[in-house]
Protein backbone atom coordinates (compact mmCIF):
# COMPACT_ATOMS: atom_id res chain seq x y z
CA UNK A 1 0.00 0.00 0.00
CA UNK A 2 1.26 3.49 -0.85
CA UNK A 3 2.28 5.87 1.91
CA UNK A 4 -0.83 7.97 1.27
CA UNK A 5 -2.97 4.84 1.87
CA UNK A 6 -5.40 5.99 -0.83
CA UNK A 7 -6.29 9.35 0.75
CA UNK A 8 -6.46 12.37 -1.51
CA UNK A 9 -4.39 15.52 -0.89
CA UNK A 10 -7.13 17.33 1.02
CA UNK A 11 -7.72 14.35 3.33
CA UNK A 12 -4.01 13.87 3.89
CA UNK A 13 -3.58 17.53 4.78
CA UNK A 14 -6.23 17.22 7.52
CA UNK A 15 -4.83 13.96 8.89
CA UNK A 16 -1.23 15.20 8.84
CA UNK A 17 -2.28 18.16 10.97
CA UNK A 18 -3.38 15.66 13.62
CA UNK A 19 0.29 15.23 14.44
CA UNK A 20 -0.08 14.13 18.06
CA UNK A 21 -2.45 11.78 19.92
CA UNK A 22 -3.89 14.80 21.76
CA UNK A 23 -4.78 16.47 18.47
CA UNK A 24 -6.45 13.29 17.20
CA UNK A 25 -8.57 13.07 20.35
CA UNK A 26 -9.49 16.75 20.14
CA UNK A 27 -10.61 16.25 16.54
CA UNK A 28 -12.79 13.28 17.52
CA UNK A 29 -14.25 15.18 20.46
CA UNK A 30 -15.04 18.47 18.73
CA UNK A 31 -15.12 17.86 14.97
CA UNK A 32 -16.87 14.47 14.81
CA UNK A 33 -20.37 13.89 16.16
CA UNK A 34 -21.22 10.76 18.10
CA UNK A 35 -23.04 8.13 16.03
CA UNK A 36 -25.82 6.47 18.04
CA UNK A 37 -26.79 4.17 15.12
CA UNK A 38 -30.51 4.61 15.73
CA UNK A 39 -31.48 4.58 12.05
CA UNK A 40 -28.93 2.31 10.40
CA UNK A 41 -25.87 0.49 11.68
CA UNK A 42 -22.56 1.41 10.11
CA UNK A 43 -18.87 0.73 10.55
CA UNK A 44 -17.31 3.55 8.57
CA UNK A 45 -13.75 3.67 7.33
CA UNK A 46 -11.58 6.61 8.42
CA UNK A 47 -12.25 8.31 5.05
CA UNK A 48 -16.01 8.11 5.63
CA UNK A 49 -15.64 9.41 9.20
CA UNK A 50 -13.66 12.35 7.83
CA UNK A 51 -16.35 13.02 5.23
CA UNK A 52 -19.46 12.43 7.36
CA UNK A 53 -18.03 13.78 10.63
CA UNK A 54 -19.89 11.01 12.44
CA UNK A 55 -18.51 8.05 14.42
CA UNK A 56 -19.29 5.54 17.15
CA UNK A 57 -16.53 3.91 19.21
CA UNK A 58 -15.31 1.46 16.54
CA UNK A 59 -15.40 4.08 13.77
CA UNK A 60 -13.60 6.54 16.03
CA UNK A 61 -10.93 4.01 16.99
CA UNK A 62 -10.25 3.11 13.36
CA UNK A 63 -10.05 6.79 12.45
CA UNK A 64 -7.62 7.43 15.30
CA UNK A 65 -5.50 4.44 14.27
CA UNK A 66 -5.29 5.79 10.72
CA UNK A 67 -4.31 9.27 11.91
CA UNK A 68 -1.68 7.78 14.23
CA UNK A 69 -0.31 5.63 11.41
CA UNK A 70 0.06 8.60 9.07
CA UNK A 71 2.00 10.39 11.80
CA UNK A 72 4.53 7.71 12.66
CA UNK A 73 2.74 5.30 15.01
CA UNK A 74 1.52 1.76 14.42
CA UNK A 75 -2.29 1.48 13.94
CA UNK A 76 -3.02 -0.56 17.09
CA UNK A 77 -6.45 -1.40 18.49
CA UNK A 78 -7.41 -2.94 21.84
CA UNK A 79 -10.88 -4.39 22.38
CA UNK A 80 -12.53 -3.95 25.78
CA UNK A 81 -15.12 -6.66 26.43
CA UNK A 82 -18.12 -6.07 28.70
CA UNK A 83 -21.16 -7.87 30.14
CA UNK A 84 -24.67 -6.46 29.79
CA UNK A 85 -23.09 -3.68 27.74
CA UNK A 86 -21.36 -2.87 24.45
CA UNK A 87 -17.69 -3.59 23.83
CA UNK A 88 -15.40 -0.58 23.43
CA UNK A 89 -12.42 -0.13 21.08
CA UNK A 90 -9.31 1.90 21.88
CA UNK A 91 -6.63 3.13 19.49
CA UNK A 92 -3.52 2.68 21.61
CA UNK A 93 -0.08 4.24 21.20
CA UNK A 94 3.25 4.19 22.97
CA UNK A 95 5.46 7.11 23.99
CA UNK A 96 8.67 6.80 26.05
CA UNK A 97 7.87 3.16 26.74
CA UNK A 98 4.39 3.87 28.14
CA UNK A 99 0.91 3.29 26.75
CA UNK A 100 -1.87 5.79 26.09
CA UNK A 101 -5.19 5.61 24.23
CA UNK A 102 -7.58 7.54 22.01
CA UNK A 103 -11.28 6.70 21.90
CA UNK A 104 -14.69 7.95 20.81
CA UNK A 105 -17.49 7.46 23.32
CA UNK A 106 -20.75 8.90 24.51
CA UNK A 107 -19.36 8.57 28.05
CA UNK A 108 -16.85 11.21 29.13
CA UNK A 109 -14.68 8.76 31.07
CA UNK A 110 -14.09 6.34 28.20
CA UNK A 111 -12.04 8.60 25.95
CA UNK A 112 -8.39 9.76 26.06
CA UNK A 113 -5.66 8.37 28.31
CA UNK A 114 -2.26 9.98 28.70
CA UNK A 115 0.71 7.72 27.82
CA UNK A 116 1.70 7.03 31.44
CA UNK A 117 0.75 3.34 31.75
CA UNK A 118 3.51 0.73 31.81
CA UNK A 119 1.38 -2.12 30.46
CA UNK A 120 -1.80 -2.61 28.45
CA UNK A 121 -3.45 -4.05 31.55
CA UNK A 122 -2.64 -0.90 33.54
CA UNK A 123 -4.13 1.18 30.73
CA UNK A 124 -7.26 -0.96 30.53
CA UNK A 125 -7.84 -0.87 34.30
CA UNK A 126 -7.91 2.93 34.18
CA UNK A 127 -11.25 2.53 32.37
CA UNK A 128 -12.83 0.17 34.92
CA UNK A 129 -14.60 2.72 37.14
CA UNK A 130 -15.84 4.67 34.11
CA UNK A 131 -17.17 1.70 32.14
CA UNK A 132 -20.83 1.23 33.01
CA UNK A 133 -24.24 0.62 31.49
CA UNK A 134 -27.37 2.81 31.84
CA UNK A 135 -28.33 0.89 35.00
CA UNK A 136 -25.12 1.99 36.67
CA UNK A 137 -23.41 -1.41 36.67
CA UNK A 138 -19.64 -1.49 36.14
CA UNK A 139 -19.38 -3.82 33.17
CA UNK A 140 -15.75 -4.14 31.96
CA UNK A 141 -14.62 -7.77 32.12
CA UNK A 142 -11.81 -8.47 29.62
CA UNK A 143 -9.44 -7.01 27.05
CA UNK A 144 -7.50 -8.12 23.99
CA UNK A 145 -3.86 -7.68 23.13
CA UNK A 146 -3.16 -4.79 20.71
CA UNK A 147 -4.05 -5.73 17.13
CA UNK A 148 -2.17 -4.04 14.29
CA UNK A 149 -4.68 -3.01 11.63
CA UNK A 150 -2.03 -3.40 8.95
CA UNK A 151 -3.16 -7.02 8.86
CA UNK A 152 -6.32 -5.68 7.18
CA UNK A 153 -4.60 -3.57 4.53
CA UNK A 154 -6.06 -5.90 1.88
CA UNK A 155 -9.44 -4.37 2.77
CA UNK A 156 -8.11 -0.83 2.18
CA UNK A 157 -9.54 -0.21 5.64
CA UNK A 158 -8.52 3.44 5.75
CA UNK A 159 -10.38 4.54 2.63
CA UNK A 160 -12.91 1.89 1.60
CA UNK A 161 -16.54 2.83 1.04
CA UNK A 162 -17.59 -0.53 2.50
CA UNK A 163 -18.33 -1.06 6.19
CA UNK A 164 -15.52 -2.58 8.26
CA UNK A 165 -17.57 -5.32 9.91
CA UNK A 166 -14.89 -7.91 9.15
CA UNK A 167 -12.51 -6.11 11.49
CA UNK A 168 -15.13 -5.80 14.22
CA UNK A 169 -15.98 -9.49 13.90
CA UNK A 170 -12.27 -10.37 14.16
CA UNK A 171 -12.17 -8.93 17.68
CA UNK A 172 -14.93 -11.36 18.68
CA UNK A 173 -12.72 -14.33 17.75
CA UNK A 174 -9.42 -13.54 19.48
CA UNK A 175 -8.42 -14.35 23.08
CA UNK A 176 -9.16 -11.82 25.81
CA UNK A 177 -7.63 -11.52 29.28
CA UNK A 178 -9.95 -11.19 32.27
CA UNK A 179 -9.69 -8.10 34.43
CA UNK A 180 -10.79 -10.06 37.51
CA UNK A 181 -11.37 -13.63 38.65
CA UNK A 182 -14.64 -15.48 38.07
CA UNK A 183 -15.37 -15.28 41.78
CA UNK A 184 -14.92 -11.51 41.72
CA UNK A 185 -17.15 -11.24 38.65
CA UNK A 186 -20.14 -12.66 40.53
CA UNK A 187 -20.50 -9.42 42.47
CA UNK A 188 -22.33 -6.71 40.56
CA UNK A 189 -20.49 -3.47 41.17
CA UNK A 190 -22.54 -0.29 41.05
CA UNK A 191 -21.47 3.22 40.15
CA UNK A 192 -21.28 6.12 42.57
CA UNK A 193 -24.20 8.34 41.54
CA UNK A 194 -22.04 11.44 41.11
CA UNK A 195 -19.55 9.65 38.87
CA UNK A 196 -22.47 8.12 36.96
CA UNK A 197 -23.89 11.58 36.24
CA UNK A 198 -20.46 13.04 35.45
CA UNK A 199 -19.94 10.42 32.76
CA UNK A 200 -22.86 11.82 30.78
CA UNK A 201 -21.47 15.36 30.55
CA UNK A 202 -21.61 16.27 26.86
CA UNK A 203 -23.36 13.02 25.91
CA UNK A 204 -25.71 12.67 22.97
CA UNK A 205 -29.07 11.95 24.58
Decide if pLDDT at 104 tops 70: yes
In a domain, 29, yes or no: yes
Which CATH number characterizes residue 37's domain? Answer: 3.10.620
CA distances from 1 to 7, 16, 61, 77, 122 (A): 11, 18, 21, 20, 34
Lowest mean pLDDT among 48-57, 92-101, 132-141, 183-192: 183-192
In a domain, 3, yes or no: no
pLDDT at 37: 74
Q: pTM for the full model?
A: 0.95
Domain extent, residue 98, equals 9-198
In a domain, 61, yes or no: yes
Number of domains the chain contains: 1
pLDDT at 39: 52
DSSP bridge partners of 99: 94, 117
User: Which of the four pLDDT bands, split at 50, 70 and 90, describes residue 205?
Assistant: confident
User: Which of the four pLDDT bands, split at 50, 70 and 90, describes residue 3?
Assistant: confident
99-114 burial, b at 16+ Cβ within 10 Å, e below that, comes to bbbbbbbbbebbbbbe
pLDDT at 40: 63
Decide if pLDDT at 124 tops 60: yes
Cβ atoms of 42 and 163 closer than 8 Å: yes
pLDDT at 202: 85
Decide if pLDDT at 177 tops 70: yes
In a domain, 2, yes or no: no
In a domain, 21, yes or no: yes
In a domain, 4, yes or no: no
Average pLDDT, the chain: 95
pLDDT at 1: 46
Decide if pLDDT at 80 tops 80: yes
In a domain, 204, yes or no: no
In a domain, 181, yes or no: yes
131-176, pLDDT tens digit by residue?
999 999 999 999 999 999 999 999 999 999 999 999 999 999 999 9
Amino acid sequence: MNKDYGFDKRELAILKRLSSPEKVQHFLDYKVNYNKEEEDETCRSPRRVLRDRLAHCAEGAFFAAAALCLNGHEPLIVDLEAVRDDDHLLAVFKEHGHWGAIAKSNYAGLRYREPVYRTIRELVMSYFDHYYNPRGEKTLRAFSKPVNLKRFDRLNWMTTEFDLWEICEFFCTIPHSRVMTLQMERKRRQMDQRLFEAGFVGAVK
